[in-house]
Amino acid sequence: MAVGVSVPKAQLEEFRERFAEAVTQHVGGALLESCLNLSAWLTVDQIREQLMDELEELHPFGQGNPEPVFGLRSVVLRQRPEIFKGQHFRFSIDDSRGRRLFGVAWKMAKRVPPTGVPIDLAVELAWNHFNDRKLLQLELIDWRLTPTN
């Protein structure tokens, strides 16, 4: 469900404060930290066309059938991600056989992961259809430094 609200510019800050107060009261105190539910942890080697074919069987995705989000542990980016259009970035990772997988992070250019250190990725898997080619693509949802414990 969506709703639209019009607020005079001079009253915007007051609206924000009162809205935040109302939400805090509604949830019974402090707001909870957001969490990301992963469908499964995968290795980079498990991301293959066969897996994509199996995921196709789960379509259509929507509110009652959310698209799976997969975790990848201890991935190391060898090259700095390439920022494009000022707000997105492209990246690549290699599997154990030297196969390169490409990924994109929409609207995350202000939060580019480091290179050369282990990171955990949360990704959706998609086909990228471009120039009569069909390439497997990782769509980055979030990342973190791999915990050391």
Whole-model pTM: value is: 0.77
pLDDT at residue 31, as a whole number: 67
Secondary-structure breakdown of the chain: helix, strand, coil percentages, each rounded to the nearest 5: 20, 35, 45
40-145: CATH, from 3.30.300.30, 3.30.300.10, 2.40.50.460, 3.40.50.2300: 2.40.50.460
Chain segment 13-32, per-residue pLDDT in tens: 999 888 888 888 888 777 67
Cβ-count burial 122-147 (b if 16+ within 10 Å, e if not): bbbbbeeeeeeeeebbbbbbebeeee
Burial of 95 (0-12, 13-18, 19+ CB in 10 A): middle
pLDDT at residue 21, as a whole number: 86
Tokens 């959706």 identify what position? 124
Sorted by where each begins, the domain ranges of the chain are 40-145
More confident residue, 74 or 4: 74
Please state, in angstroms and as integers, the Cα–Cα distance from residue 77 to each residue in 45, 74, 147, following that order. Answer: 15, 10, 16
More confident residue, 135 or 90: 90
Average confidence score pLDDT of the chain? 91
> Binning pLDDT at 50, 70 and 90, where does residue 1 land?
low
**Which ranges constitute the DSSP H helices of 57-122?**
none
Chain segment 65-124, per-residue pLDDT in tens: 999 999 999 999 999 999 999 999 999 999 999 899 999 999 999 999 999 999 999 999
Which amino acid type is present at position 144? Answer: R
